[in-house]
Amino acid sequence: MALAATPRVPDEPLRVLRALWQSGHAAYLVGGGIRDELLGRIPTDWDVATDARPERLLQLFPEGRYENRFGTVTINKVETTTFRRDHVYGDHRRPDSVTFTDDFGEDLRRRDFTVNAIGWGRPGDADSAPQPDWVDPTGGIADLRAGTLRAVGEPAKRFDEDSLRLLRAARLAAQLGFEIEPATKTAMVESAHLVGWLSSERVGGEMRRMIATDPPSTAFRILADTNLLAGVLPELWAQRGVAQDKIEGHDLLDHSLATLDAAAVLESFDLTLRLAALLHDIGKPATQADGRFIGHDEVGARQGAELLARLAFPAHQVERVRRLIHHHMFSYQANWTDAALRRFVRRVGRDLVDELLRLRQADNLGSGWPADAGALDELRRRLAAELAAGPPLTLAELAVNGDDLQAELAIKPGPWIGGLLDRLLDSVVTDPSRNSRTLLLADARSWLADFLPAPPDR
């Protein structure tokens, strides 16, 4: 990699740098932005480090927002942080307070990995001010060239200070396609138990980024190889060594990761699908008996949802993953009637059917089978034809509602209304031609006795 004398820096971070230089402050690009630029990747965000204190930053950039107690001011998405040294407390987390410094070298050396400790910039304006240049006290540029992720300083000590660095190592190595330097990796294994100190939100934050890398299995492999998985995702760790009759030599964890990678190839931007693929067999270790896993879909749906909720994934995503896991064992047969197809869609939910078929494709591929094994292509074709007709599949599409039943049948509100509506919908899903108000009210009248309690309550 030839190092450009001047990196290509977008207007916004450049404006921040120039304004700081002109006001007499030292300012440098640091962190992931400059790292990714050097690698020829598109940076997701830009970080600037400066000797200007937060109050001064807010004076210079009135549009800036003071984000946290670490002295980061965000100026139009550019995270601008005052040079600092960290205080180390005993709880293996990031410090609660920091001390500012004027020494940029000190600021770089408190950073986690050498490739994140590269700076480009210069001291503030003065007659003697040099041109902006690279600052690389930890050998980050050489590591970047070699594709090596190396802790700054003594790895075990750095992981002990802040155990989130363990997960950042796994995520960054996966994201960048880097090898973890051996001493850093050894320290990860030895420090793996420290992840127990992390809040589940912080673990979730890293997991969200891990699942989005490509191929997504890499980060989880690193977690497994370093024993970090045991503390972070014990439900997945439990899959190691559980036998599968799918791909020769693959255990259940291998199958989950192969399914995950297949999902990422099938539908690159669907993170919900990736999560469901990773977790679809999460219920197997708890249900295995005599080489079978009866009920693992239901148990897994619950475990998967608990896991994601614990890691603070958004509720709507947790719910979709739960439903996907719950329904992932469907078994299509060519003799399914059209009514059976509609009942299938009603059960799964129209909004989830496509994704469920994708999940099955990924599961098939992760089992060493063709993507459409199990006549999935036929099922897809038939579903498309069936759904094109727009058959009623939900209570909202029924030609009567609860109020109609109460009024027309002169009954009180109660659980019987829901029971009746469900039975009506069953009959309409089986035979859509019954979805007329007259027919449904007649049906409801004749079924009423099955739902109402004994007379005094009427």
Cβ nearer to ligand ATP, comparing 117 with 357: 117
Distance CA 167, CA 175 (A): 12
Report residue 264: phi and psi, to 5°. -65, -30
Give the CB-nearest residue to ligand ATP. Answer: 32
Cβ nearer to Mg ion, comparing 164 with 421: 164
- Name the minimum Å distance from CB 172 to Mg ion: 11
Which listed option, ligand ATP, Mg ion, none, makes contact with residue 165 (CB within 5 to 8 Å by class)? ligand ATP
Crossing angle of the two packed helices 402-409 and 415-430, in degrees rounded to 10: 110
Site residues for ligand ATP, 399-458, by CB under 6 A, read none
Using the rule CB under 6 A, which residue among 37, 107, 162, 261 binds ligand ATP? 162
Q: 100 forms bridges with which residues in the sheet? A: 84
Cβ nearer to ligand ATP, comparing 15 with 93: 93
- Name the minimum Å distance from CB 158 to Mg ion: 18
Structure tokens at 361: 């494709």
- Name the minimum Å distance from CB 377 to ligand ATP: 39
Helix (H) or strand (E) holding 49: strand 47-50
383, 353 Cβ separation under 8 angstroms:
yes
Which listed option, Mg ion, ligand ATP, none, makes contact with residue 102 (CB within 5 to 8 Å by class)? none
Cβ nearer to Mg ion, comparing 32 with 140: 32
How many residues interact with ligand ATP (rule CB under 6 A)?
Answer: 13
Residues in contact with 180: Cβ distance below 8 Å, sequence separation at least 6, in sequence order: 148, 149, 150, 169, 173, 188, 222
Note whether 164 binds ligand ATP by CB under 6 A: yes
Which listed option, ligand ATP, Mg ion, none, makes contact with residue 107 (CB within 5 to 8 Å by class)? none
Which of these ranges, 21-29, 159-167, 180-188, 442-450, lies near ligand ATP under the rule CB under 6 A? 159-167
HSE (CB half, 13 Å, CA atoms) of 376?
Answer: 22
Site string for Mg ion, 181-220 (x = CB under 5 A): ----------------------------------------
- Name the minimum Å distance from CB 69 to ligand ATP: 15
Which listed option, Mg ion, ligand ATP, none, makes contact with residue 164 (CB within 5 to 8 Å by class)? ligand ATP
Site residues for Mg ion, 72-91, by CB under 5 A, read none
Site residues for ligand ATP, 99-138, by CB under 6 A, read 111-112, 116-117
How many Cβ atoms are within 10 Å of 394's Cβ, its own excluded? 12
DSSP output for 404-445: HHHHHHT--SSHHHHHHHHHHHHHHHH-GGG-SHHHHHHHHH
Which listed option, ligand ATP, Mg ion, none, makes contact with residue 112 (CB within 5 to 8 Å by class)? ligand ATP
Distance CA 271, CA 214 (A): 12
- Name the minimum Å distance from CB 209 to ligand ATP: 6
Distance CA 346, CA 105 (A): 62
Which listed option, Mg ion, ligand ATP, none, makes contact with residue 274 (CB within 5 to 8 Å by class)? none
Which of these ranges, 136-144, 161-169, 276-284, 368-376, lies near ligand ATP under the rule CB under 6 A? 161-169
Structure tokens at 300: 């897994």
Round to the nearest angstrom and report the end-to-end CA distance of the chain. 82
171, 210 Cβ separation under 8 angstroms:
yes
Site string for ligand ATP, 174-213 (x = CB under 6 A): ----------------------------------------
Distance CA 346, CA 13 (A): 51
Note whether 13 binds Mg ion by CB under 5 A: no
Which listed option, ligand ATP, Mg ion, none, makes contact with residue 391 (CB within 5 to 8 Å by class)? none
Cβ nearer to ligand ATP, comparing 165 with 250: 165
Site residues for ligand ATP, 14-73, by CB under 6 A, read 31-32, 44-45, 47
Rounded to 5°, the CA angle 320-256-280 comes to 30
Distance CA 7, CA 24 (A): 22
112, 151 Cβ separation under 8 angstroms:
yes
Cβ nearer to ligand ATP, comparing 94 with 434: 94
- Name the minimum Å distance from CB 19 to ligand ATP: 21
Distance CA 58, CA 42 (A): 28
Which listed option, Mg ion, ligand ATP, none, makes contact with residue 194 (CB within 5 to 8 Å by class)? none
What radius of gyration, in Å, describes the C-alpha atoms of the chain? Answer: 29
163, 25 Cβ separation under 8 angstroms:
no
Site residues for Mg ion, 31-50, by CB under 5 A, read 31-32, 45
**Residue among 281, 282, 271 at smallest CA distance from 208:** 271
Alpha-helical runs (H) found in 117-268: 140-146, 155-161, 164-176, 182-191, 200-211, 217-225, 228-232, 234-237, 252-266
Positions in the binding site for ligand ATP (CB under 6 A): 31-32, 44-45, 47, 94, 111-112, 116-117, 162, 164-165
Positions in the binding site for Mg ion (CB under 5 A): 31-32, 45
